[in-house]
Amino acid sequence: MLARCFAACALVFALIVCDSRAQEEQHPSHLDGINADNIDWKSKTEDYWHSVLSRKRFNICRKGGTEFPHTGKYNSFYEEGIYKCSSCGLALFSSKHKYNSHTGWPSFWRSISRDAVGYKPDRSYGMMTTEIVCSRCGAHLGHVFNDGPEPTGKRYCVNSVCLFHERRNF
């Protein structure tokens, strides 16, 4: 009886992980066929974001949640290209700046440009950290830490679901 219960729980967990990965692997369809540069993304309402983002993307990008470590698509993904915001399509990070931080989340030692991400003090969970957000739409991306590799010494620790990858050869 206990073995059946364990097997059923394992199956449900596997289905949830597969479903959430399938959702995050999809190119955000609300960005198809639009000129994202001409939209005032910061004026979009919570109802708008609820209607265009998956539940997981909404909870992380709009509510500041986080993925479980080692579960995101881009944690062990190293194809050349640009990582863009899954909420508004802004280019945020380059594969040239990605590295394996062994933390369980995709990590970059710098953003693609000085203006790509914004920074906010984060005092949640009783500690002081720096939250990183998309500078165009305000989506929560993750956090930046001062324990990364040279030349910046930074580790931009990002949730995979906040990103989508666009192939580009350099």
Q: SS3 helix, strand, coil % of the chain, rounded to 5?
A: 35, 25, 45
**Which class in CATH covers the domain with range 69-170?**
mainly beta
pLDDT of residue 26: 65
> Beta-carbon neighbour count of residue 58 at 10 Å?
18
Kindly write down the DSSP assignment for every residue of 99-168, as one continuous string: E--SSSS-EESS-SSTTSEEEEEE-GGGS-EEEEEETTT--EEEEEES---TTTT-EEEE-GGGEEEEE-
**Cα 141 from Cα 159, distance rounded (Å):** 6
In the chain, DSSP finds a helix count (H) and a strand count (E) of 3, 9
Q: What is the pLDDT of residues 109-156, one digit of tens each?
A: 999 999 999 999 999 878 899 999 999 999 999 999 999 999 999 999
The amino acid present at 74, given as its one-letter code, is Y
pLDDT of residue 1: 53
Question: Would you call 32 helix, strand, or coil by DSSP?
Answer: coil
Q: What is the pLDDT of residues 27-74, one digit of tens each?
A: 788 999 889 999 999 999 999 999 999 999 999 999 999 999 999 999
Q: Catalogue the active-site residues.
A: 157
Q: pTM (2 decimals)?
A: 0.84
